[in-house]
Amino acid sequence: AQSVTQLDSQVPVFEEAPVELRCNYSSSVSVYLFWYVQYPNQGLQLLLKYLSGSTLVKGINGFEAEFNKSQTSFHLRKPSVHISDTAEYFCAVSGPSQGGSEKLVFGKGTKLTVNP
């Protein structure tokens, strides 16, 4: 079974500062890793994903993440945040559930607040 731990429930940061949102996962099999963003009263939007290949993954809106297999981590980074990045961010791992279905296992989320 897979699990995801997002180490920070809330991250406040000033505009134009760098940010890192931390994510650790646990799995006994190879996994695929995702970061989603959720704006207030919205669904989830995919920021980026790691399937295979290069461990540094670039996504939308200037975000990137690095897959570290030895540390079972997939931390999300942005070098300079904007007010509009204020949202909740979810790390997710996909792995098989019964019947071989697609199943995303999400962390509890990190609320990023960007202050002026």
Partner 1 sequence: DAGVTQSPTHLIKTRGQHVTLRCSPISGHKSVSWYQQVLGQGPQFIFQYYEKEERGRGNFPDRFSARQFPNYSSELNVNALLLGDSALYLCASSFYGALNTEAFFGQGTRLTVV
Note whether 9 and 113 are within 8 A (CB).
no
| Sign of the torsion formed by the C-alpha atoms of 11, 40, 37 and 93 | positive
Binding of residue 98 to partner 1 (CB under 8 A): yes
Question: For partner 1, which stretch binds (CB under 8 A), given 16-24, 43-51, 54-62, 65-73?
Answer: 43-51
8-state DSSP, 32: E
Q: Work out the burial of residue 74: count CB atoms within 10 Å of its CB; fewer than 13 is exposed, 13-18 middle, 19 or more buried.
A: buried
* Torsion over CA: 39, 59, 70, 79 (sign): negative
**8 touching partner 1, by CB under 8 A:** no
User: Binding string, 12-41, against partner 1, x = CB under 8 A?
Assistant: --------------------x---x----x
Q: How many residues does this entry show for the chain?
A: 116
Min CB(80)–partner 1 separation in Å: 26
Based on the shown chain and the rule CB under 8 A, indicate whether residue 90 belongs to the binding site for partner 1. yes
**In the complex, least distance from residue 116 CB atom to partner 1, rounded to whole angstroms:** 26
Which residues of the chain form contacts with partner 1 (CB under 8 A)? 4, 32, 36, 41-46, 49, 51, 90, 92, 94-109
